[in-house]
């Protein structure tokens, strides 16, 4: 499986990092070794002094597809969750300033946290509010209606370049409010009363 991530998909977040609002989705990938599941603790790696949380809505692809038209994209996923796209912001800034790829800052082990998956059923993922709590204080709050590219548009775009396969995950971008994590922090991702993940930073 592969993990495809969208960067700068919320205008307010793009601006908080001093980036332009993109006119096409910004794409990067993480390997399967980036996955962290089942509320296992996240260990801060020794190569960064500034690991940031980015809460994101994550969808799981459940059918193989290539060059999927936006109007058919909804047929290719039926489950979603909340996750964290952990980012070594210090490394990313260094790589960005040199015009180098972001992988070292984005695709390291356990940088892709996923919570428990839920069936989409009637959930409107084009108007879905979600929250990240750090030590029980709200640090990020977003609504998918503020995405620059919605999930169906992302799937259509991405599948033009990468064949999507069953089990692939798409991280759909983070809203504003990203910030550093420290040893001992507890991160909880929730929407309304539904808690998707709850894990510790070590
Ligand atoms: Mg992200």
Question: How far is ligand 1, taken at its centre, from the CA of residue 123, in Å?
Answer: 22
Give 18's Cβ-side CA count (13 Å radius): 4
**Number of structural domains found in the chain:** 1
Q: Determine the structural domain holding residue 113 and report its residue range.
A: 3-200
Residue 98, Cβ density class (10 Å: 0-12 exposed, 13-18 middle, ≥19 buried): exposed
What's the rounded Cα separation, in Å, for the pair 4 and 65?
Answer: 14
* Higher local confidence (pLDDT), 115 or 17: 115
User: Residues within 5 Å of ion ligand 1 by Cβ?
Assistant: 54, 85, 174
- CATH number of 72's domain: 3.90.850.10
Confidence of residue 17 (pLDDT cuts 50, 70, 90): confident
Of 107, 147, 140, 105, the residue nearest 125 (C-alpha): 147
Question: How far is ligand 1, taken at its centre, from the CA of residue 11, in Å?
Answer: 13
DSSP string across 27-93? EEEE-GGGEE-TTPPBPPPTT-S-EEE-EEEEEEE-S-BSS--GGGGGGGEEEEEEEEE-EEHHHHH
Confidence of residue 33 (pLDDT cuts 50, 70, 90): very high
How many Å is the Cα radius of gyration of the chain?
Answer: 16
Question: How far is ligand 1, taken at its centre, from the CA of residue 169, in Å?
Answer: 13
pLDDT computed for residue 44 by the predictor = 98
Question: How far is ligand 1, taken at its centre, from the CA of residue 12, in Å?
Answer: 13
Question: How far is ligand 1, taken at its centre, from the CA of residue 174, in Å?
Answer: 5
Q: Per residue in 140-195, pLDDT tens? A: 999 999 999 999 999 999 999 999 999 999 999 999 999 999 999 999 999 999 99
pLDDT computed for residue 13 by the predictor = 84
Question: How far is ligand 1, taken at its centre, from the CA of residue 56, in Å?
Answer: 7
Contacts of 168 (CB under 8 A, 6+ apart): 1, 2, 3, 4, 60, 61
pLDDT computed for residue 16 by the predictor = 87
């Amino acid at each position: 499986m592969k993990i495809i991530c969208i960067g700068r998909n919320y205008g307010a977040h793009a601006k908080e990092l001093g980036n332009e609002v993109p006119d096409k989705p910004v794409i990067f990938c993480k390997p399967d070794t980036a996955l962290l599941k089942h509320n296992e603790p996240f260990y801060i790696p020794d190569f960064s002094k500034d690991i940031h949380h980015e809460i994101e809505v994550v969808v799981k692809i459940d059918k193989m597809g290539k060059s999927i038209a936006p109007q058919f994209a909804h047929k290719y996923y039926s489950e979603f969750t909340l996750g964290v796209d952990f980012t070594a912001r210090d490394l990313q800034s260094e790589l960005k300033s040199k015009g180098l790829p972001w992988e070292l800052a984005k695709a390291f082990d356990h940088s892709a946290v996923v919570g428990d998956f839920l069936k989409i059923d009637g959930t409107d993922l084009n108007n879905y509010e979600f929250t990240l709590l750090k030590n029980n204080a709200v640090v990020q709050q977003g609504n998918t209606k503020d995405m620059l590219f919605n999930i169906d548009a992302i799937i259509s775009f991405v599948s033009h370049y990468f064949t999507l396969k069953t089990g692939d995950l798409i991280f759909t971008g983070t809203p504003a409010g990203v910030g550093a994590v420290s040893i001992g922090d507890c991160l909880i991702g929730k929407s309304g009363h539904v808690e998707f993940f709850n894990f510790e930073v070590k």
